[in-house]
Structure 1
């Protein structure tokens, strides 16, 4: 199925994936401060290569994510740019097709499984159908720093702990997976498609990376501005998974080529 850009925009806003979203303004502003303070779970493994302050990150989030620009607006409903989201999805489609055409290796991973896992799985299936190799080393990969282990469903990596799949911004899962690839003598991925600490750490490691990010995830937008991420796709990353179906159709159906 192919969905047009216009129909996708309407679906994104109807599902509160873009436009007015559930993440409140006060949370967005707080996360900028915590990112700049380098707090664990908020730094996303992004290595700063230039000086950033609150105003510069705020301006970046307005321009790249679509936050409301009024500086005196500190509480209430905030926004995500539909246009920027659609542009990011186009960059994703282009990158996946390019790497797949060369028979390259793509690593898919998520720290937000309750929302984004179906999106990652669908794009991973599409990438494999185009000829991409998915990064899928055999066997269990334990994560001593956190407990639990790394697992995958339909080519998408996640961190498992006590039989569950935690929502996490931590970087240790990506660090552990990349270290395991080196230990096994496997080549690095040609492309990483991920979110949260998975994406931020991959970008800081010098890997070609595209990341999904909510309006309270400034780290990935900063990484993009620093040239560490090829593209950041702004969207609410935790709506009911079925609401992402038009987005999936747009990417795998090639609507971004029109």
Structure 2
């Protein structure tokens, strides 16, 4: 069993919290773009309130622990590990509730290189607890507008976790995919589930557009978010994202394993 104190030490040592790799200037750029309504930063969320840079700095200080000083423009920023731990506890509670109710669950990630393993272990545990882990729209095409133009990707599932990859890019047992912020994949998945007559998710677990896109459509959604992803935290405070966990979402994949153990234990899903 991993204690809160031990996980807190790991968060700091692995730089999942504490001083993180995302610089302040990158976060401020995301806050400005969010306030301008840039879809690359909205991640499928349609904000109800007015969120300029100042309001987002205040929000992210409260939710993540970044510097609340609007005059701090360059340099490292930080995540308060106590806020990460509290959010992980809430995240675990939602997983435990889903298991207790036998809800269908959908997992999806825009960070497949880093986070497939984290979500896959959760998917395995929920499946063992009697939840159906949904995999609709396997192989469906998704056209996503990027800064390089419209790119065509295919939906795929690795160990029950949805992701997008370039056509023909998959190797045997590959867990790689495309880094994506887009909400279009979750929309394609939900449309396929609805038109196919299959169950719709009672809980969506993931990051980026998977969480915000699902929450915007009224599905309960929980996920992980870095300090330059304000959409999940706006969604949380506005009531469309149930839990947003602040942490660095791009460290080595094995650094997330202790989080998996902690969450499964807190959710009473350890095997």
Structure-2-length-normalised TM-score: 0.90
Match of 1:14 in 2: 13
- What pairs with 1:58-207 in structure 2 (closer than 5 Å)? 58-137=57-136, 139-144=138-143, 146-162=151-167, 163=169, 165-207=177-219
* Cα deviation code 1:135-175 (max 9, x no counterpart): 12375322255422111111100011131611010111111
Match of 1:239 in 2: 251
Counterpart contact for 2:34–2:52, Cα < 8 Å? no
Q: Which moved more, 1:96-105 or 1:23-32?
A: 96-105
Match of 2:239 in 1: 227
RMSD over aligned Cα atoms? 1.7
Structure-1-length-normalised TM-score: 0.94
Distance 2:5 2:203 in 1: 28
Match of 1:57 in 2: 56
Task: Return structure 1 stretches of 4+ with deviation > 3 angstroms.
Answer: none
Counterpart contact for 2:141–2:153, Cα < 8 Å? yes
Q: Which of 237, 244, 252 is 2:264 aligned to? A: 252
Counterpart contact for 1:89–1:256, Cα < 8 Å? no
1:187 Cα deviation (Å)? 2.7
Counterpart contact for 1:89–1:251, Cα < 8 Å? yes
1:256 Cα deviation (Å)? 8.8
1:71 Cα deviation (Å)? 2.1
Distance 1:211 1:254 in 2: 16
Counterpart contact for 2:17–2:84, Cα < 8 Å? yes
1:77 Cα deviation (Å)? 0.9
Q: Which has the higher contact order (CA 8 A, sep 6+)?
A: 1
**Any unmatched runs of 5+ in structure 2?**
145-150, 171-176
Relative to structure 1, the CA distance from residue 217 to residue 131 in structure 2 (aligned partners, 3 Å threshold; closer, same or farther) is same
* Cα deviation code 1:11-45 (max 9, x no counterpart): 00100000100100111111100111122321101
Relative to structure 1, the CA distance from residue 255 to residue 97 in structure 2 (aligned partners, 3 Å threshold; closer, same or farther) is closer
